[in-house]
Structure 1
Amino acid sequence: MRGTAFAPQLTDGDVSEYLAQLEMLSKGYREESEIWPVNIPEFDTVAVHSRPIAPETFKLVLAAIRQRQCLKARYVSLSSGSEGFRAILPHALASDGHRWHMRAFDFDNQRYSDFVLSRLEAKGFADTPSGDLPRDVDWTSTIQLVLTADPAMPEPRRERLESEYRMRKGALRVKIRQAMLFYYLRFYGFNPHDLEGGAMRNVSSFHLKVANMEEVEKWLGRRN
């Protein structure tokens, strides 16, 4: 039996570590004999079904990032009819919590974009067009998203929400890459496409508010 002086040595004792083990078990990454929790409770998780990432394409993406080479790739976008092969120079991977993306410079559109890996087909390397590329400012810039509890909530509920999100002085300050802002907003229950008066409607499904909305709109590219 664990004594009062017990302190974990192999973990930090955080509940998220235990739940991560259950996540790996549910997704088939581990067998029950390979995770450390014992007497596993009955549990279930939401299974997200999406198109699988082609292993050969993923290998080429990793090689292109390591070797700083262009990919000859075709990307099937739901918002664009362009499905031809083009030169794309990847430099990083990013997850929105639901899908994995490739962060890359798109020579056709002359900009950095995120490409969902499951929609990408790579056919090898391509010659890198001559000339210097612009810096991926959105990826290298760190910004701060400031969230507060909805002030319209009754005080006891607002205090519980502030405690749940470990807010300090009534605010949760999240340091993130500017390129990841859209994904973080969705993670916290906001819809960046839901506009009101030309700006994102400041309504979250989790009863949160964005405190620095003007900055957020600027970072989203909708204000100067």
Structure 2
Amino acid sequence: MPTKLMMIFVGLDFIFAGCGGLVLGFTLTSEQRMRETPTIDNVIQNLLLGQCPLTAGVVNAIFIFVTFLLSLPGLFLPTNRGWLRAQGWLVVFCAIFTLGLGLAVWVETLQTRTGLSHIWARETPLVQSLLQQKFDCCGYFNSTSPPFQQDNTCINSLVAAQKGGCIGPFSSASNKYLDLIFTAAFGIVGVDTLLVLCVAMVLKYRQEQERYRHIDEKNGLGGL
């Protein structure tokens, strides 16, 4: 009958695999979204997702799935410790990888305004106009720096001058969106940490069971 420790270990192992599915689903869905025609509803997400390490996210998910598959022999071989050790090191690697991705996104939030100004400058007039309509603003810093795009929100120079630049609301919305991404990444690292601790406990438990088995064999109780 499985012990509580093994049940927790199996549960965390499957949650770990689920995190890999979450990362893969997010990256593939994000890449698909980025190919869609920009609209007021998706323009922010498309711009920010283009700054995220999506390809590295796919690689990270693959490593997570490989680690999960390599953990299965350790589950079905109750006395084996070699597969568990390999799993433990691989989970540590996955945790470091995911942490690196989360930190990369977090660093983006520390220099949001500078980064967004570069994004704004290289985008098409259509995208700039969509951002103006979304945030009811004109231009990035103000209506003249850089010049606003004339649209339904910024009808003319007089109206544009009365509206603020997009830097404030654009930065705020970007930080909120990126905060969700790197917080999710750090949450996955937390799951990885718990799994590593659980692997260590299972290894310790199996080591003790092996020691007791050797003691029984020396006492002639190996057949009991």
Q: TM-score, normalised by structure 2?
A: 0.20
Higher strand share: 1
Structure with larger Rg: 2
**More contact order relative to length (CA 8 Å, sep ≥ 6):** 2
